[in-house]
Amino acid sequence: MIIEIVKIFVFPGIAFILFMAFFSSWMVRKIVARMENRVGPPFLQPYYDMGKLLAKQRVYPHESIASIMHLMPMIQLGVAILIALFMPVYSPKGILSFDGDVYFILFLISIHGATAYFVGWASRNPYTISGAGRAVMTEISLEIPLAVSIASMGIMTKSIRISEMTEKLGISMFPRTETGEIVNKLTWLYLIPWTILIIVAIYSAIGALELSPFSAPHAETEIVHGWSTELTGADLAMTEMADMVNLFNLSALITAIFLGGPRTGLIILNLIEPWTYVIGFLFFLMKFLLVMFILSYIYVLSGRLRIDQIISALWSYFLPLSLIGMLLVLILETIGG
Amino acid sequence: MKISMEEIKKEVKTMESRELSDQTPVLRVEPNRLLEEMRKLYDLGLTHLSTIIALQVDNKIQIDYPLSSPLNKKLAPAIFVETIVSMDKPKISTIEDIYPSAVTYEREVTDLLGVEFIGADHRDKLLLPDDFPDNLYPLRKDYTGKELQQKLDELGVGYNPTIPLKEEEDYVMAVGPQHPTHKEPIRFKFTVEGEDIKNVELRLGFNHRGIEKALEQGTWIKNLYLIERICGICSSAHQLAYVLTAEKVDKILDQVPDRAQWLRVLVSELERIHSHILWYGVLAHDGGYDYMFHITWRDREDVMDLLEMWTGNRVNYAMMTIGGVRRDIDENLRKKMIIKLKKLRKNISKHKEVMEKEKTFLARIKNVGYLSKEDAIRFGAVGPTARASNINFDLRKDVPYAAYKEIPFKVYYRSEGDVYATMAVRLDEALESVEMCLYVLENLPTGDIAIKVKTRLQEGEAHTRVEAPRGEDIHYILSDGKNAPYRHKVRAPTLANITSLMYRFKNMQVADIPMIIRSIDPCIGCMERVTFVDAKTGKTKEISGQELISKANRRYRLNEKIKIFEV
């Protein structure tokens, strides 16, 4: 019982999630700063930022709907933490886990988009309404490619449960005999659709996080700060925190589904019980940081696309790409039997 | 058919014709024949209206229209068309049908001298605050600067400086006066439908300082330092235009030593390099491409260091003086500069390579804010903006001033006419400027750097057009032999480009707004130099100008370092 409570509230639960969220935020900022030849923020900067925002007065503009503007950021943070509870951190199984949880997570991600729209609409400001429209359009456009690429991985691993997908990834891609030899040489071909699908998933994650090149909903020089322009004080802190947690979530989701999460993969280690968890956690961290680095790299090296360019990119390049990936997986499944 | 200046003079029915001190022909026409003659001149190829210069002479208002041609090289030097109206209810017909860019200039004249333009639509105030009294015109000679300030203080003008938007049925998005894309206050009012722009309106006047009025109160030497405070980025271009004009008025331009003229070119080109790097860095930031913003600004520090090494300042170099320049270059500094410039050339080439290749960024600037060659001519675009629309015109080449005649360089122009073209032109120009600086440093003539000049200039009037980093910058001075100009008119390049800018928003989206505004490199401080001493700044000042000067002089004598924050 106590162990369960510790799991939910401390590790790998809420405290750990928030720490990882702040850490990821700092990490991205630091990587971006170093790439741009700046110094970047100190390690504790996200904590200072949040502390300062939480202490500030909340201001609601004339004619805006204060209750929605107050409620939605809390929902965003709640939803983000709920998603994070599904993420496998040290063992293939997260705190919460059930059949079909992958799709539940996708549903929760789209709730984030909807709350963004409500905030923008309730603020009654040209910038926020523009930003809200853009946020929803981006959200709708990126959801299908993301869903298709995750579904393809589901077909590959024959599961729609994160823990099973994580566990079976290596086995289904590289099935082995007990002595460690790879059974079917053909399965190396799985790497082709896998590459396509992970690219689609990473770009979709960038879209969901509103980073460049898909940062139009937050375009600073055009619409000030998009849908969150009018948020102040604790409300803004909640949204920012939700963004940070989502940064952790999406990186961890890609790590779990495409990179095997805490599993050691091709390296076979015979370890006793607690040490597998420690090694698993270290592997998770390594993969997680790799994903974060790729995210920051794309973010730094691209300009901000216009909203029509984002939509046409997502619908006419990334959606077909994800469908091609799915087709390849299906073909390989049929041949490989 | 390319006709010359002589033929132009024959075509126009003039009342009398005279010349400025710099041999610029002035054709005086009757006010009621102005429209007809202007149309004739436009058809003859004088398509570029630089500005409208209006001034009070005795009890009349004299209005000058400097015309030139960007396409016909014979007509590149300006020709003045002049008309005189009475002070009592001055009226003149508008020329906005012929020269659309005249709208902003006419509104400026209406605001500042009270000339009414017949045939123009109802025009709101452009530069002055909305609560400015109707019968008070700052640039008339009724009041001196101080009296005017007192009077406005009594009336309480400028204490309600915000100009609220009126309620409208359309969906309006205001970009400015305060907005992340603006570095200086200006307001664009966009009527939008979804993401598409339907209409745009402009309001200036958030950054008024009254420099033109203040120039009339100063002295020729004090004005040197006031004039460069028009703008931080192109301060030396304004100062150069001012000293050249003053030298023309005083008829000493040909006595200025060669070395001084070459050094003037050097400081102008260094300024152009840092201005262009700043510009394309900010363009990248506007396109969400912050990486290039940081990298370019890092490399810009090199040219800032150069300027600081030579002049002591990062901006406002105070290099020019009437009759020469103020600081020489020694051998040691010359060598250091050459090394730094070579490093800079390498860096700018890298910027060029990256910025012309990154696809997400190119998607934002290609085919955005298109301006055709015809429109660029019609709306009087100047500088890199015009050159991006396929107009091969550069004042440094076509109307050479300072030492530009002796320095080889190439004028870059592109045919695309979009934001990308303005970027490509500026990248090429920055590289070319580095080459020019290297040429100047390697072939610098020896000799003095300045001649002695009297504190009072001769009577006379003259004008100079200078290619500032943003385009044509025109200064006009009328001297009545006293120790200050009778009238000093400045028109900075941004005001010339603003007409074509408004046209560029056609069929564009909200997301394109920052890129298109950036394309002309707007400098609001330059554009709004006219009008009026801000009553508020006058009050918050705790230390008088005299005290400051004496303090600075003492520091200089004692060779102490001045602590910036002490004052």
Q: Confirm or reject CATH 3.40.190.10 for domain B5-128, answering yes or no.
A: no
Cβ–Cβ of B509/A220 closer than 8 Å? Answer: no
The pLDDT assigned to B548 comes to 58
Is A295's pLDDT higher than 70? yes
Which are the contacts of B124, defined by CB distance < 8 A and separation ≥ 6? B203
Tell me the residue type at B514. Answer: P
Cβ–Cβ of B290/A126 closer than 8 Å? Answer: no
Enumerate the residues of chain A whose CB falls inside 8 A of the CB of residue B173.
126-127, 130
Angstrom distance (rounded) from CA B44 to CA B1 = 9
Is A78's pLDDT higher than 50? yes
Enumerate the residues of chain B whose CB falls inside 8 A of the CB of residue A219.
288, 511
Which residues is B464 bridged to in the sheet? B475
Is B172's pLDDT higher than 90? no
Cβ–Cβ of B180/A220 closer than 8 Å? Answer: yes
Query: How many other CB atoms are there within 10 angstroms of residue B219's CB atom?
Result: 14
DSSP code for B83: E
Q: What is the dihedral of CA A307, A308, A310, A312, to 10 degrees?
A: 170
The pLDDT assigned to B535 comes to 36
Cβ–Cβ of B361/A303 closer than 8 Å? Answer: yes
For residue A193, the number of C-alpha atoms closer than 13 Å in the C-beta half-sphere is 26
State the ipTM, two decimals.
Answer: 0.86
Angstrom distance (rounded) from CA B254 to CA A303 = 51
User: How close is the nearest chain A Cα to the Cα of B11, in Å?
Assistant: 50
**A192-236: per-residue pLDDT in tens?**
888 999 999 999 999 998 888 898 888 888 888 888 888 988 999
Cβ–Cβ of A306/B358 closer than 8 Å? Answer: no
Query: What does each C-alpha distance from A55 to A43, A71, A233, A264 come to in angstroms?
Result: 20, 18, 7, 43
The CATH homologous superfamily of the domain defined by B211-527: Cytochrome-c3 Hydrogenase, chain B (1.10.645.10)
Instruction: For residue B536, name the pLDDT band (cuts at 50, 70, 90).
Output: very low
**B388-409: per-residue pLDDT in tens?**
998 888 888 888 888 888 899 9
Range of the domain at A314: 16-336
Q: Is residue A64 part of a domain?
A: yes
Query: Out of A212, A222, A309, whose CB is closest to B510?
Result: A222
Q: What is the CA radius of gyration of chain B?
A: 23
Three-state secondary structure of A96-149: CCCCCHHHHHHHHHHHHHHHHHHHHHHHCCHHHHHHHHHHHHHHHHHHHHHHHH
> Which residues of chain A from 278 to 337 reach within 8 Å of chain B, CB to CB?
300-309
Angstrom distance (rounded) from CA B51 to CA B54 = 10
Cβ–Cβ of B180/A36 closer than 8 Å? Answer: no
Is B533's pLDDT higher than 60? no
The pLDDT assigned to A186 comes to 65
**B250-263: per-residue pLDDT in tens?**
888 888 888 999 99
Enumerate the residues of chain A whose CB falls inside 8 A of the CB of residue B282.
none
Is B529's pLDDT higher than 60? no
Q: Domain residues of chain B, as ranges?
A: 5-128, 211-527
Is A180's pLDDT higher than 70? no
Place of tokens 């900075």: B492
Q: Which of A282, A291, A250 is nearest to A87 (CA)?
A: A250
The enclosing H or E element of B304 equals helix B290-311
The pLDDT assigned to B348 comes to 92
The pLDDT assigned to B229 comes to 84
Query: How many other CB atoms are there within 10 angstroms of residue A279's CB atom?
Result: 17
The pLDDT assigned to A3 comes to 84
Cis preceding linkage at B177, omega within 30: yes
**What is the torsional sign of CA A202, A203, A207, A209?**
positive
Q: Is residue A94 part of a domain?
A: yes
- Whole-model pTM: value is 0.86
Per-chain mean pLDDT for chain B: 82
Angstrom distance (rounded) from CA B514 to CA B365 = 11
The pLDDT assigned to B361 comes to 87
DSSP code for B400: -
Classify residue B535 by burial, with Cβ atoms within 10 Å: 0-12, 13-18, 19+.
Answer: middle
The pLDDT assigned to B557 comes to 59
The pLDDT assigned to B534 comes to 34
Lowest mean pLDDT among A276-280, B339-343, B556-560: B556-560
Mean pLDDT across the stretch A292-299? 92
Lowest mean pLDDT among A15-29, A249-263, B199-213, B532-546: B532-546
Lowest mean pLDDT among B132-146, B490-504, B518-532: B518-532
Instruction: For residue B168, name the pLDDT band (cuts at 50, 70, 90).
Output: low
The pLDDT assigned to B503 comes to 83
Size of interface A-B (CB pairs under 8 A): 84
Mean pLDDT across the stretch B423-440? 92
Cβ–Cβ of A300/B285 closer than 8 Å? Answer: no
Helices (H), strands (E): how many in chain B?
20, 16
Tell me the residue type at B198. Answer: K
The pLDDT assigned to A42 comes to 93
Cis preceding linkage at B77, omega within 30: no
Q: Which of B514, B426, B506 is nearest to B470 (CA)?
A: B426
- The structure tokens listed for A44 are 């504790």
The pLDDT assigned to B563 comes to 41
**B44-82: per-residue pLDDT in tens?**
888 888 889 888 888 888 898 998 888 888 888 888 888
**B112-157: per-residue pLDDT in tens?**
888 888 887 766 777 777 777 878 888 888 888 788 888 888 887 7
Residue B287 sits at the chain A interface (C-beta within 8 Å) = yes
**B281-332: per-residue pLDDT in tens?**
988 988 888 888 999 999 999 999 888 888 888 888 888 888 888 888 888 9
Query: What does each C-alpha distance from B556 to B99, B225, B559, B560, B562 come to in angstroms?
Result: 50, 17, 5, 7, 8
Q: Is residue A93 part of a domain?
A: yes
Instruction: For residue B9, name the pLDDT band (cuts at 50, 70, 90).
Output: confident
Classify residue B288 by burial, with Cβ atoms within 10 Å: 0-12, 13-18, 19+.
Answer: buried
User: What is B163-192 written as a DSSP string?
Assistant: -PPPP-SS-EEEE-SS-TT-SS--EEEEEE
Angstrom distance (rounded) from CA B5 to CA B16 = 16
Q: Which of B370, B355, B194 is nearest to B277 (CA)?
A: B355
Helices (H), strands (E): how many in chain A?
13, 0
Query: What does each C-alpha distance from B522 to A117, B75, B316, B492 come to in angstroms?
Result: 34, 28, 18, 10
**B200-243: per-residue pLDDT in tens?**
877 777 777 788 888 888 888 888 888 888 888 888 889 999 99
**B355-391: per-residue pLDDT in tens?**
888 888 888 888 888 888 888 888 888 889 899 998 8
Q: Is residue A8 part of a domain?
A: no
User: How close is the nearest chain B Cα to the Cα of A314, in Å?
Assistant: 14
Q: Which of B215, B268, B200, B81 is nearest to B513 (CA)?
A: B200
Per-chain mean pLDDT for chain A: 86
The answer to whether B301 touches B309, Cβ cutoff 8 Å, is: no
**B435-491: per-residue pLDDT in tens?**
999 999 999 888 888 888 888 888 888 999 999 888 888 999 988 888 888 888 888
The pLDDT assigned to B558 comes to 59
Cβ–Cβ of A303/B284 closer than 8 Å? Answer: yes
- The structure tokens listed for B350 are 């890298």
